[in-house]
Amino acid sequence: MSDLLASLYPWVKSLHIMAVISWMAGLFYLPRLYVYHAEESKPGDSRDEVFQTMERKLLKVIMNPAMLVAWFAGLWMAVTPGVVDWTAVWPYLKGVSIIAMTWFHMWLGVRRKVFASGLNDLTGKQYRMMNEVPTVLMVLIVVSVVVKF
């Protein structure tokens, strides 16, 4: 089994990188859509419907599948013998950051449902602030993986 894991490692890593790029693109873009949705539309108007369609499709068609593939490929790599030094700090920092990123993804999904119900209670400024969360987490993840402290 470890031979199979090792032989597929470059392919799984490639898949992981592509999935993470797609997931991150959505994590950066969806809060920005929420900024404009909160500032430029009212519940039930034509722009509200357009924003809701864009937000739903981004989350369901791009972000959710990308997150699942990133998780699957990441876990595959984590169990591949010789890839992770479990005595180091970096895999744990990366793991905590990924869990936080996943929580943020789920929070964005909840906010989409709030918009859909017409009950959004956050401002564009608040969504702008939340838009920084994936950036901070991305920095932690990339530095931990590249520097491997």
Residue ranges covered by each domain of the chain: 2-147
Token pair listed for 31: 């809060």
* pLDDT tens-digit series, residues 97-148: 999 999 999 999 999 999 999 999 999 999 999 999 999 999 999 999 999 9
Query: Which CA distances in Å does 97 have to 107, 143, 146?
Result: 15, 11, 15
Q: Coil, strand or helix: which one is 148?
A: coil
Token pair listed for 8: 């597929």
DSSP code, position 117? T
Q: What is the pLDDT of residue 147?
A: 95
Closest to 63 (Cα-Cα) out of 18, 97, 99, 22: 22
Please, which pLDDT band fits residue 2 given cuts at 50, 70 and 90? confident
* pLDDT tens-digit series, residues 65-97: 999 999 999 999 999 998 999 999 999 999 999
* pLDDT tens-digit series, residues 37-65: 999 999 999 999 999 999 999 999 999 99
